[in-house]
Chain A
Amino acid sequence: MTTSRDRVLAKVRAALADVPPGAPDADPPVTRAYRTAHTEATGPALLALLAENLADYRAMVHRTTEDQLPSLLAEILRTHGSRTLAVPTDLPSKWLAAAHEVTRLPDSPTVTADQLNGVDSTLTGCALAIAETGTIVLDAGPAQGRRLLTLVPDHHICVIRADQVVASLPQALPRLDPTRPQTWISGPSATSDIELERVEGVHGPRCLEVVVVSG
């Protein structure tokens, strides 16, 4: 019996009668004359570029040091009025050392979207960040938890270490594992569907706060 699979593949092959037979790698390689980055910035200049592009997308950006991180996080939660906080199970315990007032909801397979819907904030790390585009990449790796953790609550705080920042997309992809589920975030949720007027926050977190840690 001919399946649709067979039929579609046969039609593809028939359609390509003009293409000389041969393996795909017999084709000349793709011309990749584009840049591997659009900035030469490194170190502090690269972090500044990231912060600038994140802010351009109306994410709130904070800069701090390893030592000051716990007090800054406590401060952010207090300012936001957060009483409950969803956290990945492997979040470095030191991060929340100063946040005494918040009740934590640790991620686990039994935590439901409904429960997260009632949580004020969520706090995670990330896999890497791309300075040129102001993008944070999460891949459910260390200190990130499941994808829904950074999706359902309305306020996401994301901590980026200086060594996780790359300049560009071409530099980011080789550092990522395609087999992991990934979420790339550039600023908070936004829509321009009504008369092209930008409105922040339709379904994802309406408020994204990013903490860049160096030193």
Chain B
Amino acid sequence: MSRTFLGMPPFPEAAAVSTQNAQLRANLTHATHTIRDKRARAVTELDDWAQLRQAGQEIKDHTLRHLDHYLLQAEKAVTAAGGTVHWAADAAEANRIVADLVRATGESEVVKVKSMATQEIGLNEALAAEGITAYETDLAELIVQLGDDLPSHILVPAIHRNRSEIRDIFRDAMGRWGRPAPDGLTDSPAELAEAARLHLREKFLRAKVAVSGANFIVAETGTLVVLESEGNGRMCLTLPETLISVVGIEKLVPSWRDLEVFLQLLPRSSTAERMNPYTTLWTGTTAGDGPSNFHLVLLDNGRTDTLADEVGRQALRCIRCSACLNVCPVYERAGGHAYGSPYPGPIGAILTPQLRGLQSEVDASLPYASSLCGACYEVCPVAIDIPEVLVQLRERVADQAPGHRLERAAMKSAGWLLDHPAAYSAALRTASRARGLLPRRLPLPGPAKAWSDSRDLPTLPEHPFRDWWNSRPNGEDGPKHDDGKTGKDSAAR
């Protein structure tokens, strides 16, 4: 059965392993750079991007400020439309609810739409323990599941795998889960996608129960919204008799009209498309069309603790577009697995320790898994100030365990970053490019605020010192980048 993120080593140890993997790094560098360039073009196409971003930020903040009101409104609307609403305080409770609902149908199999919330709660493993098999149907999630692997990116969870690895996984594992891969399967993406189509279609056609998450819930109407590309989402959301959606309580938006903001922000930030190929919207049940039983499980699992932090609560605005991962020099070097949770990259570094608390070494190390270069804030479509939250979380780590195990784990992360000059200098370079967009004041929380409020940040130089040093006419003789082996990466940047 699938592995879990539980028991992962803290960030610096996990990153130390993943940075040794040249294949992984090459795959990641190629992928993140491709997506980020495409995204920049898709965003430039809209001259009102800044205004959309502001509206997105304000709508989410407003919703969070009145979350109790909108939760009750959504519950009422979903119930009135024929759905059943369940509340889950934590992962164990959510898993229990889903397992009981599946068991009540008499089925022992479910098909699944890719969902961060169900990864967060370890639903597949919990269902397996109850004798229920959950089939992932998103192509990337299928690759991860068949490979007994873990996802490493929010949008493209199998980004760390290349085509020949995927071919091998399909050849070796498909037969154990259902229809085997066709004989003579090559590693052409089209053939691999076709193999997935055949493998999964038999599952779609016999599935009686599906499990999904949702990108948005409209409180006013009780409408759930799922964005996707492949059509596996439509299959799961339409064909089965019973649909169970596990959704974090932060996914609410107040009104139908608000979708005009988020359906513009999300596809462009995420896949760099004007619009993703498929979006499914449903409100309760519709007689004769789609599932006849609909269950919504509203999930807390640490979200209310996050909400209680006035600085950290902005992480709940996240619409999981993954844009911050693709610009992050630390993510690019360390890979998604190093973050020890389904939420990798900059958003993972602030969301995971807030959802799970800072008690473990993994979680205490995460706020240090960043160079604070600010590129994540710049691309975030809902303007989450990730560096601000990181700084505040670092303060909390230091406060709770001065000189202790946790602080040492955290400092190892910072040390890791300083030991990896390519990641660090890339961070600085990104910062130089973005220097016109950085805030002039350092957003420090707590007692440091009074200090930072009265001081402007120095303007970032156009070129990081290291670049300038290496590019001097006699730079050849100067001290070289201490990691000659990564020179190729830097040149490609």
Instruction: Write the residues of chain A forming the contact surface with B, with a CB cutoff of 8 angstroms.
Output: 3-5, 7-9, 11-16, 18-19, 23-24, 27, 30-35, 38, 53, 57, 109, 113-114, 117, 130, 132-135, 140, 146-148, 151, 169-170, 173-174, 178-197, 199, 201-205
A178 and B281 contacting across the interface, CB-CB below 8 Å: yes
Q: Given that A11-B304, A178-B256, A194-B192 are known contacts, is A113 also in contact with B197, CB under 8 Å in the complex?
A: no
Most interface-central of A7, A23, A182, A203 (chain B CB within 10 A): A203
CB distance from A63 to the nearest CB of B (A): 21
Secondary structure of the B contact surface, majority rule: helix
List the B residue with the shortest CB-CB distance to A140: B289
List the A residue with the shortest CB-CB distance to B207: A113
Contact partner of B278 (CB less than 8 A), chosen from A113, A179, A184, is A184
B46 at the interface (CB under 8 A from A): yes
Contact partner of A178 (CB less than 8 A), chosen from B55, B223, B313, is B223
Known pairs A38-B47, A113-B204, A194-B192. 19 more at Cβ < 8 A? A8-B71, A12-B249, A13-B68, A16-B307, A27-B65, A33-B54, A109-B288, A146-B289, A151-B239, A169-B263, A178-B281, A181-B286, A182-B279, A184-B275, A195-B162, A202-B197, A203-B197, A203-B204, A203-B234
Among residues 167 to 199 in chain B, which have CB atoms less than 8 Å away from a CB atom of chain A?
A: 189-190, 192-193, 196-197
Flag B284-299 by CB within 8 Å of A: 1 or 0 each. Answer: 0010111000000010
CB distance from A2 to the nearest CB of B (A): 10
CB distance from B29 to the nearest CB of A (A): 12
List the A residue with the shortest CB-CB distance to B190: A199
Q: Which residues on A sit within 8 Å (CB–CB) of B282?
A: 181-182
B68 and A16 contacting across the interface, CB-CB below 8 Å: yes
Q: Which residues on A sit within 8 Å (CB–CB) of B69?
A: 23-24
Q: Which residues on A sit within 8 Å (CB–CB) of B278?
A: 183-186, 189, 204
B58 at the interface (CB under 8 A from A): yes
Contact partner of A191 (CB less than 8 A), chosen from B35, B193, B280, is B193
Most interface-central of A18, A173, A178, A193 (chain B CB within 10 A): A193
Q: Which residues on B sit within 8 Å (CB–CB) of A135?
A: 275
List the B residue with the shortest CB-CB distance to A56: B274
Q: Given that A186-B274, A191-B193 are known contacts, is A203 also in contact with B230, CB under 8 Å in the complex?
A: yes
**What are 27 A-B residue pairs whose CB atoms fall within 8 Å in the complex?**
A8-B300, A11-B304, A11-B305, A14-B308, A16-B307, A23-B69, A24-B66, A24-B70, A30-B58, A34-B52, A35-B48, A38-B45, A114-B205, A117-B201, A151-B231, A151-B235, A180-B283, A181-B281, A181-B290, A182-B281, A184-B278, A184-B281, A189-B230, A191-B230, A195-B31, A202-B230, A203-B200
B454 at the interface (CB under 8 A from A): no
List the A residue with the shortest CB-CB distance to B300: A8
B88 at the interface (CB under 8 A from A): yes
Q: Compute the total of residue contacts between A and B using a CB distance below 8 Å.
A: 234
Complex Cα distance A13/B65, Å? 9
B59 at the interface (CB under 8 A from A): yes
Q: Given that A30-B59, A133-B274, A134-B274 are known contacts, is A4 also in contact with B87, CB under 8 Å in the complex?
A: yes
Most interface-central of B27, B235, B304 (chain A CB within 10 A): B304
Q: Given that A183-B280, A196-B34 are known contacts, is A34 also in contact with B235, CB under 8 Å in the complex?
A: no
Contact partner of B232 (CB less than 8 A), chosen from A31, A170, A199, A202, is A202
B67 at the interface (CB under 8 A from A): yes
CB distance from B300 to the nearest CB of A (A): 5
B89 and A4 contacting across the interface, CB-CB below 8 Å: yes
Q: Which residues on B sit within 8 Å (CB–CB) of A15?
A: 304-305, 307-308, 313
A147 and B279 contacting across the interface, CB-CB below 8 Å: no
B277 at the interface (CB under 8 A from A): yes
Q: Which residues on A sit within 8 Å (CB–CB) of B300?
A: 8, 11
